[in-house]
């Protein structure tokens, strides 16, 4: 069906061709100056997002100040898709009962679990053991071979707050990479083709 002011897609093209043809038509109608301007706008948005992320890293002391819970191992405290806000100030002692995000050698994805046991040495060094609230056993099976305790250097951050289910978009994009690329393409096209009022 045609809408007001629109043209039907070319014969034999099928429905998806209509929006694609409009996109390329808009790009062709832009002069070089407009196109450069929109590309610079897009670059500015990307660099601003990176600057905000780097700023959060400095303020929170965590290399990943915002993470998404990817599994149900911490239910009922956190559910899959919850967005966690982290801090990682080295002066703060790690306590039993707090929720930490840690990295284990050989695993790319950080793990969000609770500290269940602390082992403090005489020299002040602390080692600790973690476990998912929804798991029956502790995390020793997740640590690298021969490792029985975590140390402060393994901690990416400690959970200070969360937003429920906001991270589901991230999970969907990880589970369906084509959706991620389509979404990025649409966002990029929108920024490039958006004209100043």
Same domain membership, residue 138 and residue 76: yes
* Count of structural domains within the chain: 3
Q: 131 with 110, same domain?
A: yes
Q: Are residues 154 and 77 in the same domain?
A: yes
pLDDT in tens, 44-78: 988 998 999 999 999 999 999 999 999 999 999 99
72 Cβ contact list (under 8 Å, min separation 6) = 79, 80, 134
Contact status, residue 40 vs residue 33, Cβ threshold 8 Å: no
The reply to whether 1 falls in a domain is no
Q: Which residues are catalytically annotated?
A: 73, 113, 139
Q: Are residues 149 and 119 in the same domain?
A: yes
24/47 same-domain check: yes
Q: Do 102 and 31 fall within a single domain?
A: no
Backbone angles phi, psi at 54, to 5 degrees: -65, -40
Looking at the structure, do residues 152 and 177 belong to the same domain, yes or no? no
What residues make up the domain containing 171? 166-196
Same domain, 144 and 110: yes
* pTM strictly above 0.85: no
Tens digits of residue pLDDT in 122-177: 777 899 999 999 999 999 999 998 899 999 999 999 999 999 998 888 888 878 88
């Amino acid at each position: 069906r045609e809408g007001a002011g629109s043209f039907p897609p070319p014969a034999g093209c099928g429905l998806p061709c209509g929006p694609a043809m409009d996109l390329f038509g808009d790009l062709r109608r832009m002069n070089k100056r407009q196109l450069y301007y929109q590309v610079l706008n897009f670059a500015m948005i990307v660099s601003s997002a990176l600057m905000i992320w780097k700023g959060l890293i400095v303020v929170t002391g965590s290399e990943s100040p915002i993470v998404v819970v990817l599994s149900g191992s911490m239910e009922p405290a956190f559910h899959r898709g919850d967005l966690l806000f982290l801090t990682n100030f080295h002066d703060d002692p790690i306590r039993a009962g707090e929720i930490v995000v840690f990295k284990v050698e050989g695993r790319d994805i950080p793990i969000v679990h609770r500290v269940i046991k602390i082992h403090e040495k005489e020299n002040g060094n602390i080692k600790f053991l973690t476990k998912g609230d929804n798991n029956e056993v502790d995390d020793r099976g997740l640590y690298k071979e021969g490792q029985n305790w975590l140390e402060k250097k393994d901690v990416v951050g400690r959970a200070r707050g969360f937003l429920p289910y906001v991270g589901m978009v991230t999970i969907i994009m990880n589970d369906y990479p084509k959706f991620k690329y389509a979404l990025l393409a649409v966002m990029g096209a929108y920024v490039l083709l958006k004209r100043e009022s």
